[in-house]
Amino acid sequence: MTEHYYTAEPRSPHQTKEFRVTLCGNELRFKTDAGVFSRDRLDLGTKLLVESIELSGVEAPLDLGCGYGPIGLAIARERPAVTVYMSDLNRRATELAAENAALNKIGNVVLRQGDGFRPWQDLYTDGFRFDCVAINPPLRAGKETVLRLFTEARDHLRPGGKLWAVIRTNQGAKTYLRSLEEIFGSAQTAAIQSGYRVLLARKEQD
């Protein structure tokens, strides 16, 4: 049975693979491995998400559940003057993301391993908050986990900050949109393509 990618310490035997993909007009190389999400190829949802995010004015973006790094590294390549924060529960995934940052000569990223927003708690003592959170949520971990991550995102965004999430239409995207409306007060569908929906929620105030 395939190991669940939403785990801190994958135990599946290593099966590394490399491929190239173009995101936001930039070609990037990625090394992947067993025990991480979408090992064989970049999934269409992730590609749609990263190419839907409005990056103008973004100063503190977080790739939450970064996997081997496609979203965060694409943002970092597109916005080289911005520090991009990336984290994942899965240690193998964060190690791959670090390797892929080096592979693509991208240095404007900060990578940490851990669940949800726990890896970033030290930042908040100085009043820091993110202005953009991007997530391809771990649906296999269950609705409770996904809604917790959405709620944590709201709590760690500055006013005016945005959460971008991609979910398959047939895996409950419309239901999750309603959940985001309840959590944030309002939400919308920002893009629809190839059976995926990009959901957008904006934090209005604390």
Question: Considering the entire predicted model, what is its pTM?
Answer: 0.92
Residue 91 lies in a domain: yes
Residue that is written with structure tokens 């391993």 in the block: 113
Residue 2 lies in a domain: no
CA-nearest of 159, 203, 161, 158 to 180 is 203
Looking at residue 2, its pLDDT comes to 42
Contact 90, 39 (CB under 8 A): no
Q: Is the pLDDT of residue 198 over 90?
A: yes
Residue 107 lies in a domain: yes
CA–CA gap between residue 93 and residue 87 (Å, rounded): 9
Looking at residue 8, its pLDDT comes to 60
Q: What are the pLDDT digits (tens) for 2-23? A: 444 556 666 677 778 999 999 9
Looking at residue 10, its pLDDT comes to 60
Looking at residue 127, its pLDDT comes to 86
Mean pLDDT, residues 109-116 taken together: 97
Looking at residue 36, its pLDDT comes to 84
The total of structural domains in the chain comes to: 1
Q: What are the pLDDT digits (tens) for 83-112? A: 999 999 999 999 999 999 999 999 999 999
Residue 131 lies in a domain: yes
Contact 100, 86 (CB under 8 A): no
Higher pLDDT, 13 or 51: 51
Higher pLDDT, 10 or 47: 47
Residue 7 lies in a domain: no
Give the least confident one: 27-41, 147-161, 181-195.
Answer: 27-41
Residue 6 lies in a domain: no
Give the least confident one: 32-36, 71-75, 164-168.
Answer: 32-36
For residue 87, give its domain range: 17-202
CA angle 130, 203, 26 (to 5 degrees): 50
Q: What are the pLDDT digits (tens) for 118-177? A: 999 999 878 899 999 999 999 988 999 999 999 999 999 999 999 999 999 999 999 999
Residue 181 lies in a domain: yes
CATH code (residue 187): 3.40.50.150
Contact 86, 110 (CB under 8 A): yes
CA–CA gap between residue 41 and residue 182 (Å, rounded): 34
CA–CA gap between residue 179 and residue 110 (Å, rounded): 30
